């Protein structure tokens, strides 16, 4: 969508083909038949540092449908709370230090460990290092509490992988962007409408130049005509002819499409790159109660399988929710993903009651479980060697997707960046210099000198 809208804004006629009946891919919403509610496939958030995602949202007119917050509440089993967040008048990277030092969730040893780690993160880290985050944590003498309650939860959730499988440069990027560069960069944004509703402006933007969004259209074959320099795309219900093609696909979808593509030099190399990627799951439990169970909009839940709570009833007031609609997120947990629906819902309810006693007296009205087994790609050491750029092995064909070479981990920001990079490459092939990529935020405070 970011590629399509950028190119449409540059005056091109763009046709967006999606095999589903709604836009958004892995960051979308749909009517769940089991509960008769529109739900997101899982909670996706953005941060102030997500400049290209925010730029895409601004282009399609939905940036005002994001709720922004600079605070994060951590809750221990039993209910004790710690509030993290920034003190705006303190210069970066000191803006988050006072509340971290006051947090009950961390012991004095934990706080010294985290301070030591943050200081070490100020030093440059080589992009080609083979060190994992877990190895680096051992080397920097991180306490068990710091590992379990910060690194395994906050950082591993952001990258959706276990710390043993996270490349150190990506962990350092998360730390610097979310906690150190500036208070603005670390602000968290949460959608106040269903994810697919955010994208309502996309078809209208494409239509300005005669383009369209073609939903429920699965690509059956793709052929290149050398004489006309055009691509012929068979979507089963229609044929599309185009001068340029952007394959904005998850890596496994592109892998399935490769046999249908024309023979090309370096196509085998691309296939080999794709083969080096693997998936990590995200699960979400959607629970509807007959009464309020918490006054919080969102929270981080410590020491249990469930990791994040989002109070959908409070964040999405248009629902006119009676009682509570709670969404629980479980990141990077293949064990949880292997549970049956009944086992997963029962476990989520038992653990939720440890944080919010009102759950025990509330009636569960309905529940839904969503398992995104292909939610993200992993970021192990040296994965950047296998992330292709926007140019493909085929003529007038470009690649996009969060897994391509964006410099970011598997996030909506990476997806938006990939679309902007592909759009720039396409325009360059036309002899036009266009800049769609939105620059990173500049560090503030003391971070300007570090």
Nearest in space to 444 (alpha carbons), one of 96, 39, 43, 199: 96
Strand 245-248 to 279-289 pairing: unpaired
Q: Is the pLDDT of residue 156 over 90?
A: no
Q: Residue 440 domain-assigned?
A: no
Of the residues 186, 218, 242, the one at which a domain ends: 186
389-403 residue pLDDT tens: 999 999 999 999 999
d(CA 279, CA 332): 10
48-99 residue pLDDT tens: 999 999 999 999 999 999 999 999 999 999 999 999 999 989 999 999 999 9
Residues 218 and 364 in one domain: no
Q: Residue 23 domain-assigned?
A: yes
**Whole-number average pLDDT of the chain:** 95
Confidence of residue 298 (pLDDT cuts 50, 70, 90): very high
- Average pLDDT rounded to a whole number, residues 164-180: 95
Name the DSSP letter for residue 357.
Answer: T
Residues 345 and 416 in one domain: no
Residue 24: give the domain boundaries.
2-64+191-277+381-429
Residues 41 and 146 in one domain: no
17-60 residue pLDDT tens: 999 999 999 999 999 999 999 999 888 999 999 999 999 999 99
Residues 385 and 410 in one domain: yes
Q: Residue 434 domain-assigned?
A: no
Q: Percent of the chain beyond pLDDT 70?
A: 100
Residues 170 and 252 in one domain: no
- Number of domains within the chain: 3
Name the DSSP letter for residue 301.
Answer: E
Residues 127 and 255 in one domain: no
- Taking the mean position of all CA atoms in its chain, how far away is CA 209? 30
CATH classification of the domain holding 330: 3.90.660.10
Residues 174 and 320 in one domain: no
The tokens of 359 are what? Answer: 């759950």
Three-state DSSP class for 400? strand
Three-state DSSP class for 385? helix
Check residue 96 and give its pLDDT.
Answer: 95
The tokens of 141 are what? Answer: 């003498």
Are 394 and 243 in contact by the 8 Å Cβ rule? The answer is no
318/83: higher pLDDT: 83
Residues 89 and 56 in one domain: no
Check residue 441 and give its pLDDT.
Answer: 96
d(CA 177, CA 194): 26
Residues 260 and 396 in one domain: yes
Strand ranges (E), 140-220: 188-191, 212-214
Of the residues 149, 164, 186, the one at which a domain ends: 186
202-241 residue pLDDT tens: 999 999 999 999 999 988 889 999 999 999 999 878 899 9
Confidence of residue 13 (pLDDT cuts 50, 70, 90): very high
CATH classification of the domain holding 210: 3.50.50.60
d(CA 307, CA 82): 15
d(CA 162, CA 185): 24
pTM above 0.85, yes or no: yes
Residues 23 and 86 in one domain: no
Residues 273 and 410 in one domain: yes
Q: Residue 287 domain-assigned?
A: yes
Residues 323 and 305 in one domain: yes
Q: Residue 135 domain-assigned?
A: yes
Q: Residue 445 domain-assigned?
A: no
- Average pLDDT rounded to a whole number, residues 419-435: 97
Q: Percent of the chain beyond pLDDT 90?
A: 93
Q: Residue 443 domain-assigned?
A: no
HSE (side-chain half, CA atoms, 13 Å) at 66 = 24
Q: Is the pLDDT of residue 434 over 90?
A: yes
- Average pLDDT rounded to a whole number, residues 173-183: 95
339-390 residue pLDDT tens: 999 999 999 999 999 999 999 999 999 999 999 999 999 999 999 999 999 9
Check residue 197 and give its pLDDT.
Answer: 95
Check residue 317 and give its pLDDT.
Answer: 87
Check residue 321 and give its pLDDT.
Answer: 81
Q: Tell me the β-bridge partners of 75.
A: 81, 301
Q: Residue 36 domain-assigned?
A: yes
Check residue 424 and give its pLDDT.
Answer: 98
């Amino acid at each position: 969508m970011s590629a399509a809208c950028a190119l449409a804004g540059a005056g091109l006629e763009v046709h967006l083909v999606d095999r589903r009946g709604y836009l958004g891919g892995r960051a979308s919403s749909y009517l769940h038949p089991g509960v008769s509610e529109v739900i997101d496939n899982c909670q996706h958030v953005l941060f102030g540092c997500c400049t290209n995602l925010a730029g895409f949202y601004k282009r399609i007119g939905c940036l005002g449908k994001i709720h922004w917050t600079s605070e994060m509440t951590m809750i221990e089993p039993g209910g004790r709370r710690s509030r993290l967040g920034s003190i705006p008048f303190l210069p970066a990277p000191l803006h988050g230090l006072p509340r971290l030092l006051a947090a009950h969730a961390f012991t004095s040893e934990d706080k010294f460990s985290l301070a030591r780690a943050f200081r070490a993160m100020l030093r440059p880290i080589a992009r080609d290092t083979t060190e994992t985050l877990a190895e680096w944590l051992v080397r920097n003498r991180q306490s068990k509490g710091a590992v379990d309650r910060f690194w395994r939860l906050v950082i591993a959730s952001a990258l959706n992988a276990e710390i043993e499988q996270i490349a150190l440069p990506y962990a350092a990027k998360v730390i610097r962007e979310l906690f150190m560069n500036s208070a603005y960069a670390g602000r968290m944004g949460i959608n106040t409408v269903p994810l697919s509703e955010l994208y309502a402006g996309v078809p209208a933007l494409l239509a300005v130049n005669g383009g369209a969004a073609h939903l429920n259209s699965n690509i059956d074959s793709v052929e290149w005509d050398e004489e006309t320099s055009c691509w012929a795309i068979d979507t089963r219900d229609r044929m599309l002819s185009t001068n340029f093609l952007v394959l904005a696909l998850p890596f496994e979808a592109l892998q399935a499409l490769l046999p249908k593509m024309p023979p090309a030099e370096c196509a085998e190399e691309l296939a080999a790159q794709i083969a080096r990627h693997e998936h990590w799951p995200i699960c979400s439990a959607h629970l509807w109660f007959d009464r309020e169970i918490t006054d919080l909009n969102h929270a981080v839940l410590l020491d249990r399988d469930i990791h994040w709570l989002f109070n959908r009833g409070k964040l999405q007031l248009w629902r006119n929710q009676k009682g509570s609609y709670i969404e629980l997120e479980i990141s990077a947990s293949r064990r949880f993903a292997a549970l049956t629906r009944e086992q997963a819902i029962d476990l989520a309810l038992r653990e939720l009651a440890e944080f919010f006693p009102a759950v025990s007296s509330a009636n569960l009205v309905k529940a839904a479980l969503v398992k995104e087994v292909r939610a993200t790609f992993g970021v192990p050491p040296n994965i950047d060697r296998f992330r292709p750029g926007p140019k493909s092995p085929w003529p007038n064909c470009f690649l996009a997707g969060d897994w391509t070479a964006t410099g970011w981990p598997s996030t909506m920001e990476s997806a938006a960046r990939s679309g902007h990079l592909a759009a720039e490459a396409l325009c360059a092939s036309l002899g036009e210099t266009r800049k769609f990529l939105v620059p990173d935020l500049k560090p503030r405070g003391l971070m300007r000198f570090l």
